[in-house]
Amino acid sequence: MARERAVVLASGGMDSCVTIAIARQTHDISLLHLDYGQRTESRERRAFSDIADHYRVEHRLVISMEHLAKIGGSSLTDPSIPVSGADLDGKGIPTSYVPFRNANMLAVAVSWGEVIGAGAIFIGAVEEDSSGYPDCRREFYDAFEGAVRAGTKPGTHIRLITPVIRMTKREIVLTAAALGAPLDLTWSCYAREDVACGLCDSCALRLRGFRRAGLEDPIPYAARPDYP
Amino acid sequence: MARERAVVLASGGMDSCVTIAIARQTHDISLLHLDYGQRTESRERRAFSDIADHYRVEHRLVISMEHLAKIGGSSLTDPSIPVSGADLDGKGIPTSYVPFRNANMLAVAVSWGEVIGAGAIFIGAVEEDSSGYPDCRREFYDAFEGAVRAGTKPGTHIRLITPVIRMTKREIVLTAAALGAPLDLTWSCYAREDVACGLCDSCALRLRGFRRAGLEDPIPYAARPDYP
């Protein structure tokens, strides 16, 4: 019997790489990469391609959403706003927040999913580790799933699956190891494209996750501070 | 006291023109026009500018979402799918349906709205006349509003206001007349950019609305069939 088709949102980062590894166990996957004008997009896109090649997924779509950069309001897209240093225990919304970014991404994924007959969208959102982005919480996905139900054709039934949302970065690293996900191909740094900076929020969360998992991060860093 | 700011989604068509006329009575409005790769975009964008000029709204943003064309699946964006003839009583989903289009538009509007501190998004969706698009029903906006609540910053409170959603095209024409909205500047045709074709779904609904309102449509048509 043919497996259900699913769209997996894949940034090229660690969380979406593990999400792909999980999704492909049950679904026939199509990979969607969204360029929203972030500083490190070309490196992230290379990571996306490398991961898609690794898993031999032919069905992929790269979409430019640079309008999110035009809207601005975020350090990831607006060069006049500096990238915050790591603040792993902070409760505030970091400057790297792109307003309502994941809703924009999900809307594209659902549009594509409806065209190709997908029954699910997988997204590697992580609630606990994600620096307080409001659209990384399961509550948001439940609400958005209601909008998908109400706003698509009667024959379309698309679930939003967030397999890593309750995981810590440590658990993501361990899951990747268990599933053989190629974390060496992923890219997480918000600041650099040659080697990871080791200093931005995203690097700090990643390095701490590896440390807590007792594993070595295989990618090169400019600096590797100890994040306890 | 300063009035609440609102983003109004403005296509250049009749429904959004009336929506602007309604929104400006209570809100300080910012206009958002989205280009999603539709055939008649350049004519629609001119209509958008003309309407914004008419109301002297300086704060406007035009965003390209041509990725919706890349996703395809609709006659509005895919040249290989013909535009359907008028089928005013049909219950099916027309070929001009762009999957989950309004969700993509709302997501952009909410992102911009969050950046500029808006308390509301106005959208001129019309349930009854809108040829069965599933994302034109109030039920969809209620669901999406829940996703906005869950997915934006704690200090952000954005309502989705659909002031014409229960109106017929006749009532929209009458409301436009009552508010002095410049329907002569609007563009509705899906097929042509020089003069309206008079034959596509959108022209047929518009012409029927004027006829039922007992008013003359001020824009030029290639053909003006009688739609009873």
Q: How confident is the model at residue B71 (pLDDT cuts 50, 70, 90)?
A: confident
CATH number of A5-188: 3.40.50.620
Is A115 in contact with B72 (Cβ distance < 8 A)?
yes
The shortest C-alpha distance from B151 to chain A (Å) reads 4
Residues with Cβ within 8 Å of residue A182, at least 6 apart in sequence:
A17, A50, A51, A54
Percentage of residues of chain B with pLDDT beyond 90: 66
Is B143 in contact with A134 (Cβ distance < 8 A)?
no
pLDDT at B129: 57
Point out the residue among A65, A97, A110 whose CB comes nearest to the CB of B100: A110
Tokens for A49, please give them: 């391609």
Q: Which residue has the tokens 């039922």?
A: B212
- At residue B109, does pLDDT exceed 80? yes
Q: Give the angle B62-B67-B73 at the CA atoms, nearest 5°.
A: 125
Is B104 in contact with A107 (Cβ distance < 8 A)?
yes
Average pLDDT of the segment spanning B33-38: 84
pLDDT at B40: 86
* Segment-wise mean pLDDT, segments of 10 residues, chain A, 228 residues: 92 96 97 86 94 95 82 54 49 59 94 92 85 83 97 92 96 98 96 94 93 96 92
CB pairs under 8 A between A and B: 145
The strand ranges marked E within chain B are: 5-9, 28-35, 60-64, 120-122, 159-161
Point out the residue among B93, B140, B151 whose CB comes nearest to the CB of A150: B140
- DSSP output for A9-43: E--SSHHHHHHHHHHTTTSEEEEEEEE---TTHHH
Is B98 in contact with A108 (Cβ distance < 8 A)?
no
B165, amino acid identity: I
So what CATH class is B5-213?
Answer: alpha beta
Average pLDDT of the segment spanning B107-119: 93
Give the nearest chain B residue to A72 (CA atoms).
B115
Q: How confident is the model at residue B39 (pLDDT cuts 50, 70, 90)?
A: confident
Average pLDDT of the segment spanning B208-226: 96
State residue A20 phi and psi, 5-degree precision. Answer: -60, -45
pLDDT at B90: 44
pLDDT at A49: 97
Residue B223 CA: distances (Å) to CA of B141, B197, B203, B213: 35, 6, 10, 19
Is B134 in contact with A146 (Cβ distance < 8 A)?
no
pLDDT at A93: 46
Q: ipTM strictly over 0.90? A: no
Give the nearest chain A residue to B142 (CA atoms).
A147
Residues with Cβ within 8 Å of residue B64, at least 6 apart in sequence:
A67, B35
**In sequence order, what are the beta bridge partners of B64?**
B35
With beta carbons under 8 A apart, name residues in chain B contacting A144. 147, 150-151
Residue A120 CA: distances (Å) to CA of A3, A28, A29, A189, A209: 12, 10, 10, 28, 28
With beta carbons under 8 A apart, name residues in chain A contacting B104. 104, 107-108, 111
Write b or e for each residue in A139-149: b if 16 or more Cβ atoms lie within 10 A of its Cβ, otherwise e.
Answer: ebbebbbbbbb
**In sequence order, what are the beta bridge partners of B87?**
none
Alpha carbon B191 to chain centroid distance?
A: 16
Give the nearest chain B residue to A97 (CA atoms).
B153
pLDDT at A69: 73
* B109 close to B121: Cβ distance less than 8 angstroms: yes
- At residue B130, does pLDDT exceed 70? no
Tokens for A194, please give them: 């040659």
CB of B148 less than 8 A from some CB of A:
yes
**Alpha helices of A82-157 — where are they, by DSSP H?**
101-116, 138-151
A131, amino acid identity: S
- At residue B206, does pLDDT exceed 70? yes
Stronger pLDDT, B200 or A99, i.e. the higher one: B200
With beta carbons under 8 A apart, name residues in chain B contacting A36. none
CB of B137 less than 8 A from some CB of A:
yes
Q: pLDDT (tens digit, 9 = 90+) per residue, A118-153?
A: 999 999 999 875 556 788 899 999 999 999 999 998
Is B140 in contact with A154 (Cβ distance < 8 A)?
no
pLDDT at A94: 47
Query: Average pLDDT over chain B, rounded to whole?
Result: 87
pLDDT at A141: 97
Is A147 in contact with B152 (Cβ distance < 8 A)?
no
Secondary structure element (H or E) that encloses residue B43, with its range = helix B41-54
Tokens for A3, please give them: 């497996």
Lowest mean pLDDT among A16-30, B51-65, B88-102, B120-134: B88-102
**Using CB atoms within 10 A of its CB, is residue A182 exposed (0-12), middle (13-18) or buried (19+)?**
middle
